[in-house]
Structure 1
């Protein structure tokens, strides 16, 4: 009882301490033995001589099972069976769940009972390391997983650290082993003022001399092979075998060097990345006359090191003098970046240079390093470099050497100054990701659930690190369906929780944090704000609006983020961010930035898209009646456009962002922005054939306007939604929404709005061949435009009336109406309308058999559409030209015009492309009908 009270309250327990303990003991008894009557004696938790005893066995208490396994391992070790002993210790260590009593106050955790259990674990780890070195490299690799984690918790335990050094070297990771030794040596000196003891020094010497041999008593020094390594028996007064003529401080350069083989182990099965491997192989030739430097870059978790290691192993046989490897820790979370001096010293150690021959000073050491490599073929792998300065002194001068550098940063200095070749690693392609999962989960399991596999890959953003985390979880739970794994990811979309594991190096959030922590304050703020952006990528002016700064000030900050691979430049001036990085940025934003600042940034972004889209639409269709947005906030940068081409390109480039912004604004309560932005991009979405996207956007807009009680917004959303449903053939839905729109525009006294609804009704009537109803709707539209004082609208109706007469077969009447429309559009200066009228006239002449006149009219329309950069209607007119050529038997000209039109339609992703393909196929099948398209114009 005394111990329990002491642990819970220390030196100042309350008077009721014993009663509190007894009450909780009673609760524990009932938990362990449900149904135990009050005050009845417990069989599991009993009081003996003033102390509590918990009666358990190894089947239901992991500590007892741990001790049993350790005792059995000791018996196996005494019998000389190191393999079985190591296996038993690994089973015991697998039961460990972390430091004892980690959930209580730090002061209480120091109780001797708890520290004794921790010491049992520590002893087992040390013994596992010792025995694994007797057992063989396969078991060493398994022990290393536990050993590295434990060594990080006990950085000054020399026996533990010596075991780690030897185990790392035993699996070929000599550079890391020496790095661990130096780190421990420095820490011992800084914190305790002592040098490493004999055990740790002996471990280092084994690594330096590469004298680890497997046997009954673990690694031992092999016979000193002076003739095969550096002559370490010589004295400083001995005649040197060579001189460092390039300035190595007069130190001798050995004639015969150790041939290091330091590459980390390759994956047992490497999947995908064939394009990158071919690109890498093309950059290096075995007979190269100069040193080749390859920089492999990419975002965290994309698999840079994995790819580099695999390629290095593929070509290692060409480097007959060895392979050097060092992890420069350029983005280590602790900030303990390896210095260039440490890296060079590790290479000198690996090359077998004894300590007494290493000169003082970085420059002299670098010179010696270059001299050692002169005339030799060595592969140098510099992993995880921070910047150009980090690696420059590590570049050899010797022809025939290859340097592989990996980094999250874009090392422009190496490319520009040293002629390095840059290879950027992107996320996996779909087929590569599927192959990855087949390898991790088995081909049968993946084949059984193809839809779930596709969803998992999408949720992981094709990122190898995320796929590895998710596949590991699925592999450890074979009873789980992949659909259930996919559902878990779906529920956590926008969060990194599904990609979190216990080991930081394999944790997506931790991996991203290492890059983030190295950013400047301004870049870190901008990265967090980008977590607000809803689309896959954005332009400079959108980012400037988000930050509330001028584009010129934001550009260098974006460059810093691109250099850190936290963003990528998808096109000049456009910046993208991986979905999981965007989720990480959003997490940071919620934790770091004040709500007011975040809200202001979000509203500036909405203003940018609304006003920029409005500017593009006004330029592209100036005669169309539309609502001007309210003034934008301070700090917003609006995109401006010099001509139609710029405006159309901006809309195309930002389509996904605009649609995502509509959803984002609705989700965050900015309902006015929601319906206004949807109304602004209505024409663009319709003209580009994005009718399903239009329906989704306008449904969102309608809900937002209804939430506001904004009748005008509801009218615009109903009108656009009705027309989208009509385009999709949903006639009942179309009529319902258009009728609502007409009623609401009438209530608000908007005759131009009513007129446009009648035009939409007429268009849909033409689709259903209800021509008289269409003409009646057009007459009502003309009257309403007259009331509104909108001559451009009336001119557009005249052209649409002419088109209706074409559909009716009254071609001469159509020519009259379209001629009137042409004159009206010219009178108001509407070049878009003029082009449409020319196209309609050509269409009418075509159906009258006046093909020459038709081509003249089409030519006028084509010239105008090209001048206006209206890509869709340019394609539409080219298709009509092809139809006319086909009607006159000029099939080659018809095919040429159709192919030009098809190229544009494919480029903009318009659904009309399939009908043009059908026309081209029909040229080779004379028995197939090839009638002229008679779809109504809008």
Structure 2
């Protein structure tokens, strides 16, 4: 009788439907390991490690032999003795784990949602409890967590299918329980919200969104993602697209394209501006009905008059007219130190529009072109706040009439009107009545008791909303003082200021109000206000403010609370604080007048030290990096730019070098380039040629990974010249290897060989064995590609001996995998796979995503040769995700072609073709001709059109002939 086995619960075996006795826990652990690897050999060392962990007895091998004998008798199965290990000779589909995975793979490829739902239900029905229930070993515990994640992903897939089938009612109880267990999962929250909405519970769906928003803010300091925010907007608007339970065209909300929703929150107690709002409303209507509505509007007016508040208010009112989203940027056009550059604004917009960091072009003009392309056909609102010039705006204008651009500026910007046909809306001071109404909202009934004093206070504040809010907060804090007395106090103070010599300029008067509020601050809070004006970023975290002021976090929080209550500082989410640009300028002016230059410099040096220490700690912590570095990324970039401009050169170099590890492993390309370029400039300014060379080498590495070989060559050559001048031969050899890698990417193998030989010779002279080994591996790769496997094997063998001597197990595993891929296989496939699996465990423990991606790709290649196509495909899926997250476009192109080959062998032709099509596009963009040829070859094998297939094959052969590489079917080592 055929036996059936289960690990998705208690490890069990059934023969003829009857459960058999498998013995004690250790014996069941042995069977569990063999079942996971059903049909594949497991070495004795692997079995011992997986069953005992680090607590193996001295005679573990003997105990293992005894357990295997008992299992053979109990379950009536064949456990074969293989070279160095054991293999359970059963059909993997007799094991519930493998059957679960096969069913889930089939469900994702099902022709209908009904069939997909059936397959998912069958797959989930195999689960009886937690995997390996009752067993406790390190390996099984880790695998248990992985399998539980697989089950959760399967449940989410099943939810999506049932939602598409309109079965939201039956889903809802389970979704509610799952949300309670996974309160931070946005995909699950989206499913629950949609089910609630379709059950007629719109308010409950809204509350579900509010719960996850609060949880994300409190636990992670972040906001919900774009997809979840968009779904929430659709629910609030009762979007008919959500009411299609039976339509297969309805996709999971978590999988929708990015819909930016970048508008800031509206200001509290917004008052007046009815006429201006009506004018803006009129911009959405075509004048004659036969032309598109106006596409550019300009709100102009003096500082503090409320332009940004009005723009944000109106944008929120009309956002439903822009279903494809809203983009926002504060250009900080009147900040003399750190206005937002056009290039950075474009990078931010492109990121919001879903363009991956590595795909954001390096130049401003190219970014502007990509931005216009992304907006084509979209109906979007673009709010450009606080612009100072036409030059700062023009590249940010869409090229389509379907978008509306709203600009705020203190300048009238006549060029926008004359050249771009902008409709200007001039914003004047608040009418006296509206100014008093605003005071009434902020202060309360005291305004009604003292109407004359309230009008006088409004006049003293120049009827500017910013000044009115500050004055109101001061009045609210002194509730026992009549408004008339406060007006007299302000009047006396104004009379003593020489700021009023500006001929009635309201900005001068608002500064008087600032001064009035400032002089009522306690001395410590006043000092913090001044120093906060020195921070070059838009917002600062509590810890950064504490460092700037040289106080502890508790004292910083107390002083910031004083400033917030005085409306001089705004408190944001996640412990962050910001200031209106007028207040920032005023605070910086006060600092220049009250604090000595050494004190100001000391404060900023403390700030640099804070960011450097934080970046250093986060960059070495897999857990800290995503949270801290992501939150502070804009400030870190602006600190590098500020330090370069103002003489903090050493700090800039140190901060940029620390950041490189993070940026190189997945940071946005725009900020990576900004930071690294700052380091080059700063190092050059102080004559630190070693630091300059390092920064150039980092920049070259970044260029190569992003698929910009020409820029990489130029930068590497500059670094090489500096290292040659410095006499740093070790670094010179490393750059030569990196230059050779660019040549390899471009298919210039002769030049690559020359560079690698130079590098090897330098490493040999220096006694640098790791460098020699790496150069030998690279030379061997070229030998293999050019059809010389014997020479490749010789070089790989020499490199392997060096790595074994050095104890470098990671590199040893890589070289073993290369040897196992050669025609005569100097290394068995199972040996290579075992070493790679150990490497995979190591890199996952250390959190090295780049190394993990490489190991997964190599392991997939070995598994493909072992006909373990399912495992190979899963490894490549994960590797592709990592390559994309890191921004390694060159490795991504290779992995796409590898994935296509594996899928083709598995019979998934259409999916294989899709991977090769992506590889073709990407390889063409980065100039990788070899991967271009591989992509054409893959398309030739998968294209159903014989003519197209022949054309692809001809192109592949032509490219390979030009590269002087053998045909792919004669390739070795692939």
Q: Which bracket does the TM-score occupy, shorter chain normalised?
A: 0.3 to 0.5
More helix by percentage? 2
The TM-score with structure 2 as length reference comes to 0.37
The TM-score with structure 1 as length reference comes to 0.39
Structure 1 or 2, whichever has the larger Rg, is: 1
